[in-house]
Amino acid sequence: MTDQKNHVLNYVAIEGRLLRAAGAIALIGYGLQRIIWDNLVIPNKRGALNLHGLPGWFMALALFCAAAALLAVVIDHYDRRNNEQAYKSFGMWTARLGWMLSGLALGLHAAGIRFPGPVSITISTLVAGAALVIIFSVIGLINERSVKRKYRTDIFAIPPNYSLARAICGLFVMILGGLVFLFTLPLLIKIEIAGFVVASISVMVITFGRVLYATRFGPETSQIASPRFNRKRTILLGFLVVASLWGIWYSKASLWGRWLSEDETERQKAPAWAYRFDDFVGGISHTDIQKRLSADGFRVRCYGNLQPHEKTVPDDKHVCWTIANSVDGIPIHMIFFFFGPDGLRHIRMDFPKEQQSDLRVWFENQGDVSIGSFGRDKVGTTITGRRGKTGIILTSNPGLLNWVMVMWQAREPVITRVCKPGDMDKSLNDAQIRAICTDWPVVPIMAK
């Protein structure tokens, strides 16, 4: 039996406790918020991955497991009983469970299972989902570094000149600067100058916090937190990051400024857009669109060999775009036409964000029947739709973007996707299925 009186308590430095507690609170808060909104966002290289329904719930549970593993270390520091091994095992298995739940969440999303949302499973998506579950589970089970914790048993080993106040202040300042920087990321993506100003300030705040934290030992000992710490190098690195941010802003802003100036000049000379969505039908070739609009005074540019981010669906072949002066008196940014192997499939209109209220009234006059919600877009905002004679018209709130998009989808691809014999689209309700698959009037011959 272990001697309860002679065991040595585990010690976790104050900065470690603060960081773990702050991290746990952030993970729990983010997970709860995402569950309430049913939209758990995971940033990635291509933007963000939005998890809804069951995948989002499992990923939130994974975040809670990570928070529990962090808090176990903090609680163990204050627990004076001889049960360190129990805390270590708890942290290890919650971390492993978090890996498994992460894999399960991503696997369900990849497989197309988003209960209670739409379910679209194929053999390929099912295999991809199962592979993700297996990979993440294996990582959680074999990656010992992700679950092990090192304890310091020298509970009285705090240096005599250690400044607890400086350590806490330094950590608080770094965490504050980091949070502010994260909140400015959407503004940085949109190349807004306010975002770069705030981001620069946050970088300097982080730099100051790092210097403050590194001097948590008393000056009379001339001891620095780490032998490798170099104050001048840290400050110089902070200034280099700030300079890089403004270099990015200058290069993008100057380029965008030139484009905006050219677009505005073209917009002033362009005619107003007098077409309705019902004037277009699916299957028109990009050369016919180009001839038709050019004859009406629009400058139309078309190109193929599209990059993945330039496509609305994976097999898009061509894109044409033009600039109009306005649409029914509402200023418009650009109009895009997307063509697949069978011709025209989508038309996208980008309106300035400031026109959202007028655009909402304009949208209600498009088509002939409102068919409700069509799920969410990539940033999690609800998509609403109306049925026209030749296609479905969709829109959503601007989200992180500076413009509001209105998307027309040609009737034929919509019917093919939604009204599969014996396999109706589960993402739509019965009223939407009827509006599209059974009650949609035949397209008049003149519209073609």
Task: Note the pLDDT of residue 226.
Answer: 45
Q: Which of 222, 332, 345 is nearest to 286 (CA)?
A: 345
List, for residues 33-92, the tens digit of each pLDDT value: 777 777 777 765 555 677 878 888 888 888 898 888 888 888 877 777 777 777 788 888
Q: Which residues pair with 408 in a beta bridge?
A: 347, 393
**Of 274 and 50, which is predicted with more confidence?**
274
Task: Note the pLDDT of residue 445.
Answer: 45
**Of 445 and 299, which is predicted with more confidence?**
299
**Average pLDDT of the residues in 304-330:** 85
Q: Where are the domains of the chain?
A: 1-158, 160-269, 277-447
Task: Note the pLDDT of residue 155.
Answer: 38
Quick one: tokens of 233?
Answer: 């190098």
**Average pLDDT of the residues in 259-265:** 71
pLDDT level of residue 123 (50, 70, 90 thresholds) = confident
Q: Which of 59-68, 104-113, 251-260, 398-407 has the highest mean pLDDT?
A: 59-68
Q: Is 390 helix (H, G, I), strand (E, B) or coil?
A: coil
pLDDT mean across residues, the chain? 78
pLDDT above 70: residue 163: no
**Beta strand spans in 22-113 (E):** 40-44, 47-51
CA distance 211 to 229: 9
Can you give 123-190 as a three-state secondary structure string?
HHHHHHHHHHHHHHHHHHHHCHHHCCCCCECCCCCCCCCECHHHHHHHHHHHHHHHHHHHHCHHHHHC
Which residues lie closer than 8 Å to 257 by C-beta, 6 or more apart? none
Task: Note the pLDDT of residue 339.
Answer: 94
When mean pLDDT is compared across 78-87, 146-155, 354-363, 420-429, the lowest value belongs to 146-155
Q: Which DSSP symbol is given to 438?
A: I
Task: Note the pLDDT of residue 147.
Answer: 45
pLDDT above 60: residue 2: no
List C-alpha distances in Å: 280 to 3, 45, 155: 84, 36, 76
Angle, alpha carbons 347-353-358 (nearest 5°): 80
pTM beyond 0.85: the answer is no
Amino acid at position 422, single letter:
G
Complete edge-to-edge strand list for the sheet that includes strand 343-352: 301-304, 318-322, 334-340, 343-352, 403-410, 391-396, 382-387, 369-376
